Amino acid sequence: MPTRNRLKEIFDSSKTVDFDDSSKFILFSDCHRGDNSWSDDFAHNEKLFFHALNHYYNEGFTYIEIGDGDELWESKKFEEIRKAHSHIFWIMRKFHKDDRLFLIWGNHNIVWKNQKYIEKNLFKYYDERKRCIKPLFDGIEIHEGLILRHSNMEKKIFLFHGHQGDLMCDRLWRLSRFFVRHLWKHLQLLGIKDPTSPAKNFKKRREVERKIIDWVKSSKRTVICGHTHRPVFPNEGEPAYFNTGSCVHPRCITGIEIENGEIMLIKWWVKPKKDGALYVEREILMGPKKLQSFISKIS
């Protein structure tokens, strides 16, 4: 199915979340939380991510994860991921208990589109220390897309992962998962990059972005995606295509904040002081810009 048809299909069926200038959102994607093995790309940024989420929780933000949060192509069992990064799920549960957590599935955690799988794996977990079943994200619904609607400006922002329309990552995801799980995962040790991934294949990345940007132009929508791992923040007058980047960059994690009716691209990284001491810093990469400059009217 052409990308434009897939995106219209998702847009028409997406849940709408109303917000205003008092709302605060942090959007991350592509965490690829793994099992803490040698192939877990999230492990080296785990402490950065935990610190960032604690900051956003304490500051009253709502956390929206735009796909590929869990690496369920390389890892067969979610329980292994939950155990490996239990403190990450602990802080995410705090967001969930406060109704400040929204999850979108991507191609690497596409299994979350199955409600029975969600109920079995995400609603509860077994606490080995206390030897009892405890709630995790009880009652959660995971989406393919979400629409943020500004209640005062009558505007919409469309959120989805970004793999839609990519044949190997969308319709043929089971075949791609097979190759990643049984071939590319092991070839990573030899420095061989997965050619099916837009994050590691420049031509594929450009093609994915071109298709989405073409839809943004024709539909006059504003979108925020992930998938390619490349942070994007358009200038005024350019197509309103934003990308959060990822949480598996070599030295940082990137995301998008929405606050006070403004949007900005940020990163968290470990920065050295003059005396050599290391500390975690949040840095604004682009923005802030007024949402009114970018987002489209309701249609």
Residue 190 above 80 pLDDT? no
| pLDDT score at 189 | 59
Residue 281 above 60 pLDDT? yes
Mark 30-65 as b/e (b = at least 16 C-beta within 10 Å): bbbbbbbeebbbbbebbebbebbbeebbeeebbbbb
| pLDDT score at 199 | 59
pTM: 0.91
Residue 299 above 70 pLDDT? no
Q: pLDDT for 255-278, tens place per residue?
A: 999 999 999 999 999 999 989 899
Residue 222 above 80 pLDDT? yes
Measured CA to CA, the distance from residue 226 to residue 184 in angstroms comes to 21
Q: pLDDT for 49-98, tens place per residue?
A: 999 999 999 999 999 999 999 999 988 899 999 999 999 999 999 999 99
Residue 279 above 70 pLDDT? yes
| pLDDT score at 4 | 87
Residue 32 above 60 pLDDT? yes
More confident: 153 or 287: 287
| pLDDT score at 297 | 47
Domains located in the chain, CATH noted: 3-297 (3.60.21.10)
195: which residues sit within 8 A by CB, 6+ positions away? 201, 204
| pLDDT score at 85 | 97
The DSSP line for 220-240 is T--EEE-SS---B-PPTTS--
Residue 124 above 50 pLDDT? yes
136: which residues sit within 8 A by CB, 6+ positions away? 82, 89, 93, 122, 123, 124, 125
196 pLDDT band, cuts 50/70/90, is: low
